[in-house]
């Protein structure tokens, strides 16, 4: 998930810090979530999908098994 989300941020030219501010969490919290230490909340996923124009959240947020 981490790599796919970073790629989407790069594609949209949005920094991790900017995304964190836009969804209402700290940069530190965003870092922990992107590294998989802490799960994203549903409302955060919805906001991120809107901001990054992600139609199918599973393409970015599905965890590898």
- Residue 25 phi/psi, 5° resolution? -130, 165
Does residue 2 surpass a pLDDT of 80? no
* pLDDT number for residue 65: 54
Look at the chain and report how many structural domains it folds into.
1
Look up the CATH number of the domain holding residue 19.
1.10.260.40
Residue 3: which pLDDT band, with cuts at 50, 70 and 90? Answer: confident
Write the pLDDT tens digit of every residue in 38-56.
999 999 999 999 999 999 9
pLDDT in tens, 4-35: 999 999 999 999 999 999 999 999 999 999 99
The per-residue pLDDT for 63 is: 67
């Amino acid at each position: 998930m981490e790599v796919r989300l970073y790629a989407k941020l790069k594609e949209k030219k949005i920094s991790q810090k900017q995304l964190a501010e836009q969804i209402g969490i700290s940069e530190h919290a965003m870092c922990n979530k992107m590294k998989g230490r802490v799960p994203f909340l549903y409302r955060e996923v919805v906001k991120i999908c809107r901001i990054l124009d992600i139609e199918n959240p599973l393409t970015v947020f599905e965890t590898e098994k």
